[in-house]
Amino acid sequence: MTATTRTAVERLAPDRLFIGGEWVDARSGARLATYHPATGELVAEVAEAREEDVDAAVAAARAAFDAGPWPRLDAADRAELLWKLADAIAADADRLARLEVLDTGKPIREAQIDLRETVDAFRYYAGWATKLHGQTIPVRGAVLNYTLREPVGVVGAIIPWNFPLLMAAWKVAPALACGNAVVLKPAEQTPLTALELAALAARVGLPPGVLNVVPGYGETAGAALVRHPGVDKIAFTGSTAVGRQIGQLVAGTDKALTLELGGKAANIIFEDAALDQAVEGIVNGIYFNQGEVCCAGSRLLVQESVVDVVIEKLKDRLATLRVGDPLDKNTDVGAINSRAQLEKIEELVASGVAEGAEIYQPACQLPERGYFFRPTLFTNVAQSHRIAREEIFGPVLSVLTFRTPDEAIEKANNTEYGLSAGIWTEKGSRILEMARRLRAGVVWANTYNKFDPTSPFGGYKESGFGREGGLHGLLAYVRLEDR
């Protein structure tokens, strides 16, 4: 079997843009290519959206919202369509998971988890469509005073390359449940499952213009979407640097904005923790999805009395991780998404060595082709080291130590980020106290990387603002109107 036939997968979506319910070519005729990170092989070429295409997509969304049926549809009917879309995704999950692997390089087992969570998100928000209500307020006088929750309008959703379909679901599902129209710009590296989502949405009967998909580069399509006067809200997930740029572009406009950005999470192990369980959680927290996770637990803080035991257990566990073909169900660590990301990881790891940290990598053989990097563990790390301060977005863990809970809090909070953290201890009172003092939007205790569509997710400081998931994520797509 050749590499080409091995990586082929049937696609429902044409290789064009989806605008106003139609598949259309980019007006410039430009194309962008997506490659399988595990082999470097071309997977597909699709139309590349530029400013004029974004204009057309926003116009289609604007028409769908201002004059179309979607925001005026009975909430129960919107819920039914979203549930049908969830069912369509679930029925096609195996094909979509394989396509996600080809685009991202993540292991197939992890892509299957993404698909389950994608279906969960659409089903959860389908249920909310009929439960968005305001209040009656007993004001003075013979007056009826009430509030309404109305959709914001046209939503520009910009998603990253590490969880393409799941991040689309986190934005598209609540936006549509509230009656908005969406222009979705997937990352240029991973456009395929966003286009497949559009194909499935059209198949189940979503009205034209309600969901538009415009793959393209951030500097062109993304910037055009952020600047467009016809867009009422921007929802962005990606790097902190790009998030800052978006914030500057939106400043002074009436656009609503939510940003889910980078992280440098601390996982804190106390001496009373169940160490074997903690080690499994640490491995899941940093090596899942090759560490290409905004909430990855890339800093490990270990109480001094157990640091030697924890490090030995970690080294033993790293030696068992299987790095290789992401389409193999036995693979634990797949391919890094791109050459550029691999080079960034290599540069930061080299800085760790140069600054005096001690590196450990298991002696596993990497595939000859593709963008792979060994699971990496650094000890003797100082807080001033770049590997302890900068988001690496790769399978690299830095170990620091602490003596007291106060020292652990000080070191964990000594970062510009504030997205997530983890605590490992048998003391419930310590969990509650640490969770209160940690400056992180999400804190896990005796587990890590657990998600559910019912629960809000997000951070503060340089990790962004606003929440996705749960009721809090839903309310980001409505305005409160007073009557």
User: Any idea which residues carry the catalytic annotation?
Assistant: 260, 294
Write out the E strands in 128-168: 136-137, 145-151, 154-158
Helices (H) and strands (E) in the chain, counts: 16, 20
The CA radius of gyration of the chain, in Å to the nearest whole number, is: 23
Who contacts 405 (Cβ-Cβ below 8 Å, separation ≥6)? 270, 430, 433, 434
3-state DSSP call for residue 162? Answer: coil
Pick the closest to residue 206 from 231, 181, 225, 230 (CA basis).
181
Chain-centroid distance of CA 239 in Å reads: 11
User: What is the total residue count of the chain?
Assistant: 483
Beta bridge partners of 31: 47
Report how far residue 13's alpha carbon sits from residue 32's, in angstroms, rounded to the nearest whole number.
15
Report how far residue 479's alpha carbon sits from residue 243's, in angstroms, rounded to the nearest whole number.
23
CB 152 within 8 A of CB 256: yes
Number of Cα atoms under 13 Å in the Cβ half of residue 208: 10
Pick the closest to residue 70 from 211, 229, 228 (CA basis).
211
Contacts 24+ apart (CB under 8 A), 21-29: 21/60, 21/202, 21/207, 21/208, 21/209, 22/208, 24/56, 26/50, 26/53, 27/52, 27/53, 27/56, 28/52, 28/53
Report how far residue 237's alpha carbon sits from residue 168's, in angstroms, rounded to the nearest whole number.
10
Q: In what order do the strands lie in the sheet with 358-360?
A: 358-360, 376-379, 396-402, 299-303, 266-269, 420-424, 442-445
Report how far residue 236's alpha carbon sits from residue 258's, in angstroms, rounded to the nearest whole number.
6
In the numeric block, the tokens 């998404």 are attached to: 337
